[in-house]
Amino acid sequence: MKTRITELFGIQHPIIQGGMHYVGYAELAAAVSNAGALGIITGLTQKTPELLAAEIARCRQMTSKPFGVNLTFLPTVTSPDYPGYIRSIIEGGVKIVETAGNNPQKYLPALKDAGIKVIHKCTSVRHSKKAESIGCDAVSVDGFECGGHPGEDDVPNFILLPRAAEELTIPFVASGGMADGRSLVAALALGADGINMGTRFIATKEAPVHDHVKQALVDATELDTRLVMRPLRNTERVLRNAAVDRVLEKERTLGSAITFADVAPELAGVYPRIMQSGDMDAGAWSCGMVAGLIHDIPTVRELIDRIMAEADGIIRKRLMTAL
């Protein structure tokens, strides 16, 4: 299946594994790339640029296929060493970077000069157009269904994707609610050039997370996510658990007086306890509504091959015979 995304990134299938905190390690990225899609290492999960360089080298030993690095630009008082991370990416020979968070414009010249293709995650058409205007090569359009930060506009992909197709000239992928061949065909029909999957890739054998996390996704339904930090205008979609219930109760009782410090115990620094130790009530963790479509824990290759076979079957049998 050839699309503008497969051509841009030199991959076989129009599927990207999104950057995920404490999930996007070399094992998962290499497995996704070896299966013909685009694997992504999560840059800031590595605490220093030197550790990222080592993770890139480790991934390089596991795959000869293209893979990328996610770099999220955070609105923090003490900024990570972004120039150092970018240097590690360049020196590691990585040619694809997924940016997220704040506007990446100030860092684009260094990436572009190194021949790196940049895909920026956006939750709205206006942000997508801005990414196009500053020179991003592609965008990932994230609908309201997505895990993590869906923005504040609450526009689902059935509206957001065709609107993006109307406004953009650069390629884009659909993110949020993507799980199978139906997702891929629908995304293509709505104007996207591929799909970005985050939550679905957590429930795979190669994902380096605790089995409790994978089983929680299998057990969850589409009704089991919640939105936290709405009063702080930093909305995050997470899987419901005891910690999330505590956050929502604080938001209800404190109202407009709430600050991040009030919910920090449930949100700050909790990922290692959840993803690595399997403490499922330790805090809030990003999860998309797509959990309702996750029913098993296949290998990455089994998942990707299944998606492509299902998409091919839908196009050739269901859609072609309907004409």
Model confidence at 76: pLDDT above 90: no
Q: Are the C-beta atoms of residues 47 and 1 closer than 8 Å to each other?
A: no
| Token output for 305 | 């091959």
| CA pair distance 136, 129, nearest whole angstrom | 10
Signed CA dihedral, 102, 120, 22, 176: sign only: positive
pTM score: 0.97
Model confidence at 320: pLDDT above 90: no
Q: What is the pLDDT of residue 322?
A: 79
Residue 206, helix vs strand vs coil = coil
Model confidence at 75: pLDDT above 80: no
| CA pair distance 305, 32, nearest whole angstrom | 11
Residue-wise pLDDT tens digits, 139-166: 999 999 999 999 999 999 999 999 999 9
